[in-house]
Amino acid sequence: MAKRSTTTEPAIDSTEQKIFDAAHEVFSQKGMDGAKMQEIADRAGINKALLHYYYRSKEKLYEMVARAILNKAVSAVREVLEKEMPLEEKIRRFIETYIGVISRNTFIPLFIISEINKHPERFFATILPQDLPKPHLFFQQVEAEIAAGRIRPIKPQHLLVHIISMCVFPFVGKPMMAVLLGMRPAKMQTFLKERTAEVTQFVLAALRPQ
């Protein structure tokens, strides 16, 4: 078996990388149970045996992919949440970058959430990254602004959850929303593009002191 150092990235067009990319596509769309090794092999343009040659088992391959997905999501949140900048700017930037990441990778949140639900043990034991974003600084900033009377009183945890929900959910539940709103795909596309501005405006309006 190819013993691969985790720290060294495999070459872009190596078989190993092609397998990983194919697995990424299939797992992120169908989850662990729905994904089939045959489909991954087909997409990678190789045969099943090679999957096992590079990544011993389906389980192992899955873990690799799942970790990569998680890391992407986590670093996007941390990027903004932990930086030093004025609250309003932080909120604007958070919404913008977060919606950006999600809209370019719609499957991420659904993947994470589904897999936590189906296999919580595995998820927390082997997939969740060690160093999660710390929202502490953000909470302190909110408290400070409230104390200074520059924003309406609100529990900072709820504010964060409000924002994340409005950023993520419309993309996760896109087909549902489309049906409810009676929008065809093209119109839905336009609608989702407006979200960044709409969410920002909504949040800032809700925070304006009485």
Stretch that binds its own copies, among 15-23, 52-60, 82-90, 117-125 (CB under 8 A): 117-125
Site string for its own copies, 147-186 (x = CB under 8 A): -----x-xx-xxxxxx-xxx-xxx-xx-xxx-xxx-----
Determine if 68 is a binding residue for its own copies (CB under 8 A): no
191 counts as binding its own copies under rule CB under 8 A: yes
Which residue reads 């900048």 in tokens? 85
Q: Which is nearer to its own copies, 51 or 172 (CB)?
A: 172
56 binds, among its own copies, DNA, none (CB under 5 to 8 A by kind): DNA
For residues 25-34, b (16+ Cβ closer than 10 Å) or e, as one string? Answer: bbbbeebbee
Least gap, CB of 30 to DNA (angstroms): 10
Look at residues 108, 97, 119 and name the one whose alpha carbon lies nearest to residue 24.
108
DSSP 11: P
Cα separation, 44 vs 27, in Å, equals 13
Judge contact between 54 and 16, C-beta under 8 A. Answer: yes
Structure token pair of residue 26: 């299939």
CA-based max dimension of the chain? 66
Binding residues for its own copies, rule: CB under 8 A, are 29-31, 33-34, 77, 107, 109-110, 112-114, 116-118, 120, 128, 132-133, 135, 152, 154-155, 157-162, 164-166, 168-170, 172-173, 175-177, 179-181, 191, 194-195, 198-199, 201-203, 205-208
